[in-house]
Structure 1
Amino acid sequence: MSRDRQRQQHSESEPRTDPSPPPTTTRQKLDNQQQDTSPTSLWDNLSQQWLTRRALREFDRRTVLLAVPVPPDRTGNEDTHSAQLKRFARYGGPSLEDLRAYLGPRTAPPQNRTMVSHQSSSGKRAKSGSEPDVPSKRKKTPVQNLRQQVLTENMAISERELNTASNTASQIQKTSAYDKNFEQHLIDHGVYPDGYDGGRDPANWEEISNRLAQPRLSLSSSSLSREEFRIFQQKNRLALNKGMVMSTVFPTLAGSAPIPNAQDLPFTNLKALTDGTITKAQPDFYDGARPAELSIHIREELGGYIVPATNTAAPCLANFFAEGKGTIGALDTAYRKALYEGALGARGVHQLRSYIGPKTLLDNNAYTITSTYSGGLLSIYCVHPALSDDSQRIDYLMTHVTGWALTGDPDQFRRGVAALRNARDWAKERREELIAAANSKAQNPNRAGSGSATEGSLSPSSNEPTLPDPAISTDELALHTAN
């Protein structure tokens, strides 16, 4: 009784610390919160918040994180309590007799102790294949077996939970940046998806639609057999994720036209489209111009709008974008990425046209194409700038141009692929026109109104581009079949 009372006195006098880590669920929540790098201002400034995974993680960050106890700062206290801990340990530590199912301290069987002492005194060791070096295990009681089984099952469950949480967190990190709240953020800053603005179509929408509907010699019935269409269907069926779509399916759609392009390149050099709280754009595919084609003075002056990356060899002045998703991907994510990237491209074109001259800047025409592809469905959009209703900023409006189900039949496949390739050619022609005009402006040292014009001093006008002969195709297959 005196030893138990002494143990109780020591346990009451010593500070109790809990060195065990937080529960698995709490650690999982903290890991997910650390993965979400969105600043707090992104959520505070949304006009409407949607219930998404990222929103729930932000809620946990603001509530659960505060509830997790923070361990006290023990810096410098180790020497103070060291003597007390050693003295407490010499008396046996805390008493465990009141714990349910406690079996008492484990001691070696008498025969094992005798065998060990005998071996140590004689200095002999057991040979391989005879008696083992370790003591023989004693038979466990039913309570011990049950306890061991419970511990084993708990360890297996914890390991499965950690693996599942890790896989789920990595999957959320890839897709949650472009959720419903991301779209709401773009809307709050004047970047509108298709149909949101009430149908303010660009003035050249009909011209773009007619150009995209033109047939191509490389995709005629004589050039594209039904067997080749079957092969495309098989590739599309096997493309389960974005990487497989962009590596096996999209090259068939894009063709082999000699247009500078890049894939999966982060746009780290562009200025923020909104307030800087959303992630940098990273298109799955985009077309642009070779940097050497544009004057170095223009690239230096407008680099934050038309030079997407710090890599000087990457195509600049991007105005064609493509986003792909596999059969297990989310099409709405690709749509929001296409909206975001199309607005960045339209802003770059707007800045370059402002450099050329402000008289025809806001002509209500589109010069940027963005597209999505998922599960055989191809959608093509155009994005154009327009003055906001209060004339205080430039809005960017997304408008649907055409769409095709490419896996339906060979005729739909030909017409859909022709529309995508025509869109690439059309965007390339607009880039070349703008670059030629901008370089001419840069070579004239006496040009008036150098630099980007402000949006408030612009007067809208019309500037319809001249479309080339639709029968002319620029891809290699068309040139080969045209003879």
Structure 2
Amino acid sequence: MLKIRKPRKREYHVPIQPKYRKKRPAAFWDDLDQPPLSQVVLREFNERTLEKRTELLRKKKQNANPEAIKPSRRQVLLKQFCRGGGPDLSFLRCGGETGSPETVAAEIVMAAGPGYGKIPSIKAKLPSEKSSMYDRAFAHHLRKHNVILPEYQGKGKSKISEPANKATIMTELSKSRESLTPSSIKTEHLTYFQKINEQGSIAIMSRDALPMVEGRYRGTDKAVPFRAQELNTLTHLTDGTLPPIMPQRAHGSPPAKLHEELRKDFEHYVCPTVWEKDGIVPNFFCELRDSTGNPDGLQRDLGYSLVFGARAIHWLRVYSHKKGQELDGCAYALGFTLQEGNLALYAGRARKGQAGSTGYVVNQMGSWVINDTVDGFRKGAKIYRNARDWADRMRQEVIDEANRQMAKA
């Protein structure tokens, strides 16, 4: 009988943080200077107001004196008088004839029509958890912690510069690939891809549509990519109020590529899971949304993952380079967003932040429509695969530099 060997887990020196709650903690909102006006912010404000009101009523009830709230003689007589329908106002002009309270109430209901007095059953249409999580408050929180997403990059003197190696990256993306010949991708493939993008959900797009763009990705020197898996062992990026990343695709290197001592020293920056066979130092990501998803939320979601990839590369470069040389202005983490046939490329990198701290910035590099023509689909697949291969090479170069520095030490 065959015995199934369970995967081994990495040994961590600190306990893993608990899973992020669906509801954002109070510290997240307290840290924001000016929360943007959105449904999530209004819902938080409403919940806090109700909690405060409930607390005040509870304290008032506890401290209430039974003798103080006893109704007076005047209040009792007023209530008894009102039970008879109130005073007779028939002598007033246009007063009309008054009937009993039951008759008057029945006439009002009949005049109002059917459904009067009933509370309408209205189901609140709230945004989904995936889209509402990455709202403007999320981007504002990242900005306050020195993480600049594309939407916060100004113009003129305040505009964030492009990566120093942008020209090199775009040149690598334009290289031809033998696997994308006219015989390999035909009109039938494009028609199937269009149908999935129009009708499919995120899960169906990840299962059927994205593999058509990815192509074959195998080899002994490649780690199995993460597929919608929560990478929850990485150190928090800000103050611990944000959830761990869970990209639709994330590519890293096999753990054996990096020296064991370095894996232990930088495990909370380069090892995204507890499993020993999972990839490390992920620096290539992809996020998807269906046609109903929010494009801004998709951009923030990918940018959040890219910063984790840029941080992993940065820590290895800090170890292998002299002080001041690790921040060269180049991007080593790439990612794509795919929604309604639009493929957009982003790059993440480390930069010198305020007061000498390390910050991170995400730049948009370009976008392409890949569901219009067969040639456009081939071009999009070529750009995606070339970017993935380039990110693999850059990641391996950084790992090799760190291993050489470890050998010298």
TM-score bucket (shorter structure): 0.7 to 0.9
Structure of larger gyration radius: 1
What secondary structure, in the 3-state scheme, does the structure 1 residue paired with 2:29 have? helix
Is contact 2:131-2:293 (8 Å) kept? no
Runs of 4+ off more than 3 Å: 68-74, 171-174
Of the three residues 341, 344, 351, the one matched with 1:379 is 344
Alignment of 1:278-317 (within 5 A): 278-317=242-281
Partner Cα separation in structure 2 for residue 210 and residue 48 of structure 1: 42
Letter of the aligned partner of 2:182 in structure 1?
A: S
- Alpha-carbon shift at residue 70 of structure 1 (Å): 5.6
Structure 2 matches for 1:58-97, cutoff 5 A?
A: 58-68=44-54
In the alignment, structure 1 residue 247 sits paired with structure 2 residue 207: yes
AA aligned opposite 2:49:
T
Instruction: Could you tell me which runs of 5 or more consecutive residues in structure 1 were left unpaired when the two chains were aligned.
Output: 1-34, 75-97, 101-142, 148-152, 448-483
1:338 is displaced (CA, Å) by 0.8
The AA in structure 2 aligned to 1:190 is N
1:422 aligns with 2:386: yes
Instruction: Judge conservation of contact 1:322–1:371 (CA < 8 Å) in 2.
Output: yes
Partner residue of 2:217 out of 245, 257, 261: 257
| Alpha-carbon separation, structure 2, partners of 1:268 and 1:73 | 44
Cα deviations by residue, 1:247-282 (Å, 9 ceiling, x for unpaired)? 111111111122431111212111111122222221
Distance 1:319 1:157 in 2: 53
> Which residue identity does 1:253 align to in structure 2?
V
| Contact persistence 1:288–1:316 (CA under 8 A) | yes
Given candidates 179, 200, 208, the residue that maps to 2:169 is 208
Q: Residue 431 of structure 1: CA displacement?
A: 1.4
TM-score (norm 1): 0.64
Task: Give the conservation status (yes or no) of the 8 Å contact 1:47–1:184.
Answer: no
| Partner of residue 231, structure 2 | 267
Whole-Å separation in 2 of the counterparts to 1:280 and 1:99 = 65
- The CA deviation string for residues 62-81 of structure 1, in whole angstroms up to 9 with x for no partner, is 2122223766999xxxxxxx
Q: Which moved more, 1:434-443 or 1:200-209?
A: 434-443
Q: Of the candidates 387, 393, 402, which is equivalent to residue 438 of structure 1?
A: 402
State how many pairs are aligned. Answer: 337
Q: Secondary structure at the match of 1:422?
A: helix
Distance 1:59 1:276 in 2: 21
1:354 and 1:414 map into 2 onto residues whose CA distance is: 38
In percent, how many aligned pairs have the same letter? 29
Tell me, yes or no, if the aligned pair for 1:235 and 1:248 is still in contact at 8 Å.
Answer: yes
Contact 1:219-1:414 at 8 Å conserved across structures: yes
Residue of 356, 375, 384 corresponding to 2:320? 356
> Alpha-carbon deviation of 1:49?
1.6
Cα distance in 2 for residues equivalent to 1:219 and 1:415: 9
Gaps of 5+ in 2: 1-20, 62-82, 86-104, 110-114
1:233 Cα offset (Å): 1.7
Letter in 2 for 1:358: K
In 2: Cα distance, 1:358 partner to 1:47 partner: 37
Q: CA deviation at 1:188?
A: 1.4
Q: Which residue of 2 aligns with 1:187?
A: 143
Equivalent-residue separation in structure 1 for 2:187 and 2:236 (angstroms)? 47
1:199 and 2:164 are equivalent in the alignment? no
More relative contact order in 1 or in 2 (CA 8 Å, sep 6+)?
2
AA aligned to 1:256 is R
Q: Which is richer in helix?
A: 1
Aligned residue for 2:179, secondary structure, equals helix
Quote the RMSD (CA, aligned, Å).
3.0
Q: What do residues 210-237 of structure 1 show as CA deviations (whole Å, max 9, x unaligned)?
A: 1112222222224322222222222222
Amino acid at match of 2:188: E
TM superposition score normalised by structure 2: 0.75
Instruction: Provide the secondary structure at the position in 2 that maps to 1:229.
Output: helix
Query: How does 1:164-175 map onto structure 2 within 5 Å?
Result: 164-165=123-124, 168=125, 171-175=127-131
